[in-house]
Chains A and B, each alone.
Chain A
Amino acid sequence: MYGEGFFFQAFIYLAAAVISVPIAKRLGLGSVLGYLIAGVAIGPFGLQLVGEEGEDVMHFAEFGVVMMLFLIGLELQPSRLWRLRGPIIGMGGLQLGLTAALIMAAGGALGLPWQSALAVGLVLALSSTAIVLQTLSEKGLLKTDGGQSSFAVLLFQDIAVIPLLALLPLLAVHGAFGSAAAPAGMGEHGSTWIEGLPGWAQTLLVLGSVVGLILGGRFLIRPLFRAIAQTRLRELFTAAALLLVIGIALLMTRVGLSPALGTFLAGVVLADSEYRHELEADIDPFKGLLLGLFFIAVGASIDFRLVSSEPVLIGGLVCALIIIKFGVLFVLGKFFKMGFDQNLLLALSLAQGGEFAFVLFTFAYTDGILPKEITGPLIAVVAISMPLTPLLMLLNEKLIQPRFGTRQNLEREPDAIDEENPVIIAGFGRFGNIVGRLLRANGVRATVLDFDSDNVEMLRKLGMKVFYGDATRHELLRAAGAEKAKLLILALDDPEKNLEMLQIARKHFPHLTILARANGRSDAYELIEAGVNFVYRETFDASLRLGIEVLRLLGFPSYQAYRASKTFRHHDEHALRELATMRHDRKAYISHARERIRDLEEILQEEMQPGTDLKRDLGWDTTSLREEFASRHRK
């Protein structure tokens, strides 16, 4: 067991995070910068609370990246991924190739041998998945065009790490060829199974693992999770989720693939499964903590001694790196016909060195591919370029976008600048789309949140402001403008999601008036209890209209049938509100089915008694008038 030292270290890291992140957020810097600053503060050049072991922490914490890709995979259905293939290969490939070539040329100009220059170029072309995705998702930009393109490029880079590791040893100018060492992240631990196998067997093993992963995800994991869910032990589910991620990472490492890529794939396979949300909820805190740890470690690892001894060199290299990467991406964005805003977002977000660079440079140094005089400063350059990214994006958000960004949107569609749409519709399926169309037909602009990527794409083409993603995340609600909106319409297909979102919205945006679609009666009760303002049972109106038609077909005068339905509705909606408060105490021990039967009984019983609202149409009834007339004339 770890001793006091371990706890002391944990204390330092956690304290740094807890203190600096809220401050950074308050200052509008975002959590990534907060963590990085915390790292600098506790690092060897700050308070000197952590020293050499910071590097071990960094390798451990890189597992956060693996988890993050798993989570991203979970949100990406295979069909969506397939649609991204163009940007992944096209944009990703071109980015890596062009950036590497430019850096190589620059290196050559500075007098490096071409092999070393190429190695440096390839390594520096990689960007930081952790920083980019965390920053983008925190700002709610992950689902924008620019965010998606960034993601595509990062995914390509993740894939590219594997051949890169194989390629690097070939670029050694002096010294021996290294072994085909394990890839990034978990790579350092243990050897792989494929070493020493003939080429065909290696390929077979790799392919077999990937196919096994996909098949396992499809057919094995679901029953497994079902069995675990039945134990009703929350922590067991968490353990299983962690086991899954760690297991896949280990397997991938063993067959020589990137663990991040493997878990990403597993996430995609599980994106359709019913356990997706539980998995997300379980893994998310671990991912957050590990990524935070990782950022702290990066901050702590910046070698300020080196920086201060060669400020001009390091500063120049950082600028050159950012400018080259930015330039390549900006040109590529133009080539792929991206809008100015999105293009800027893409280019700025990816203009830094990645965490793989630490691993790869270390590897390149130990294997004698590059000398320490090159890798040392370059590691510092990468480390410095990382915190600059969130800063640059902040600059973009606060200074560049307000001045230059929105103009282009204005030309295209004036109403598309709907930062202050009064209405947010969550769920634009068969229910929400009717609401949305009615609003649109009357000139009311609504911001839409939806999970369905097909819907999202179609609506975006129509010029609507659509956010793709889990509408139950309050960050997404915030990004959709919940702070300024007046009304929130909950029209998701899944009643539980609706309820969850209602609770979140009530908690974070108490000013909103919330209108919700309810599946049925019991659903409506829950929504009422959770404080919805208006609730609409999705089948109620259609059933009533059908009922009117039946009465009419049986010979009731149309208008009488219609009025009868009005009375019924009045009564039923009244009863709904009433029963919602009454049922509470019994709820705990009566099963849902029995509850529903009991509710129906109560409704029917109430209908038997002449309610007060039956006199609603009395004005058209002349019975009492005739009686009075008769009695008067009898006298």
Chain B
Amino acid sequence: MRMENKAKSYRILIIFAHPAIRKSRVNRVMIRAAQNLPGVTVHDLYEAYPDFDIDVSREQELLLDHDIILLHHPFYWYSTPSIIKEWEDLVLTHGWAYGQAGRALRGKRLLSVITTGGREEAYQKGGHNRFTIRELLAPIEQTAYLCGMEYLPPFVVHGTHSFRPDDVERHASDYRRLLLALRDGRVDLQAAQLHPRLNADLDSILTS
């Protein structure tokens, strides 16, 4: 099976982080939509390492076993929840992920999946947050670059403060569609790079 589809099928790893999952309204629904999809591994960092005692070998193996890495989390202080930073510090070691001998992640793809309370208009020059999401995610983009990974625009769910339940469902189903398309190689990556976020116009970047 895998041999036949190899050209088209990608293994996806979702590195998920939400420190208070029971209080989550959006991310909880989204991550549920991603669960139990063949070819998609959901890895909940706070669940695996409640004491931040990250198992580096295991994490590196997980990364090696997948082709597309997603960092899925709420957008805290224009960045990730702290455990993802800890994860980066400890797992992406010199000589493994980067540096002369560090080639483990080369050719893999990386993208962020984030939710923000503020609306999209707030994230631009002159807006309340003064920078675009893409600008604020520069550290992650550069991390991907340093590790030789292809960086994709983020999947951003904006304006969650004013969400109603069906809004959440809509984004969750978009997320699921994107995951399946990424897995099956049905995303037009060149077209995608033109968008500020992958879900700006999902239909236009998915091929059949």
Q: A residues near B, CB below 8 A? A: 566, 570, 612-613, 615-620, 622, 624-625, 628
Q: With CB as the reference atom, state the residue of chain B lying closest to A570.
A: B53
- Bound-complex Cα distance A613 to B55 (A): 8
Chain A residues touching B, majority SS? helix
Residues of chain A within 8 A of B100, CB atoms compared: 628
- Contacts beyond the supplied A613-B57, A617-B90, A619-B92: 20 A-B pairs with Cβ under 8 Å: A566-B51, A570-B53, A615-B56, A615-B93, A616-B55, A616-B56, A616-B90, A618-B56, A618-B93, A619-B91, A619-B93, A620-B89, A620-B90, A624-B94, A624-B95, A625-B94, A625-B99, A628-B94, A628-B95, A628-B99
Residues of chain B within 8 A of A570, CB atoms compared: 53
Report whether A619 and B99 are in contact in the complex, using a CB–CB cutoff of 8 Å.
no
Report whether A619 and B53 are in contact in the complex, using a CB–CB cutoff of 8 Å.
no
- Bound-complex Cα distance A525 to B108 (A): 43
Q: B residues near A, CB below 8 A? A: 51, 53-57, 89-95, 99-100
Chain B residues touching A, majority SS? loop
Residues of chain A within 8 A of B93, CB atoms compared: 615, 618-619
B195 → A minimal CB distance (Å): 33
A568 → B minimal CB distance (Å): 12
B191 → A minimal CB distance (Å): 36
Residues of chain A within 8 A of B53, CB atoms compared: 566, 570
A613 → B minimal CB distance (Å): 8
Residues of chain B within 8 A of A624, CB atoms compared: 94-95, 99
- Bound-complex Cα distance A616 to B51 (A): 14
B96 → A minimal CB distance (Å): 9
21 contacts between A and B (CB under 8 A): A566-B51, A570-B53, A612-B57, A615-B93, A616-B55, A616-B90, A617-B90, A618-B90, A618-B93, A619-B56, A619-B89, A619-B90, A619-B91, A619-B92, A619-B93, A620-B89, A620-B90, A624-B95, A624-B99, A625-B94, A628-B94
Residues of chain B within 8 A of A616, CB atoms compared: 54-56, 90
Residues of chain B within 8 A of A566, CB atoms compared: 51, 53
B92 → A minimal CB distance (Å): 7
A443 → B minimal CB distance (Å): 12
Residues of chain A within 8 A of B54, CB atoms compared: 616
Q: With CB as the reference atom, state the residue of chain B lying closest to A622.
A: B94
A454 → B minimal CB distance (Å): 35
Q: With CB as the reference atom, state the residue of chain B lying closest to A616.
A: B56
Residues of chain A within 8 A of B99, CB atoms compared: 624-625, 628
Q: With CB as the reference atom, state the residue of chain A lying closest to B95.
A: A624
- Bound-complex Cα distance A616 to B55 (A): 7
Q: With CB as the reference atom, state the residue of chain A lying closest to B56.
A: A616
Residues of chain A within 8 A of B51, CB atoms compared: 566
Residues of chain B within 8 A of A613, CB atoms compared: 57
- Bound-complex Cα distance A570 to B57 (A): 13
- Bound-complex Cα distance A619 to B57 (A): 12
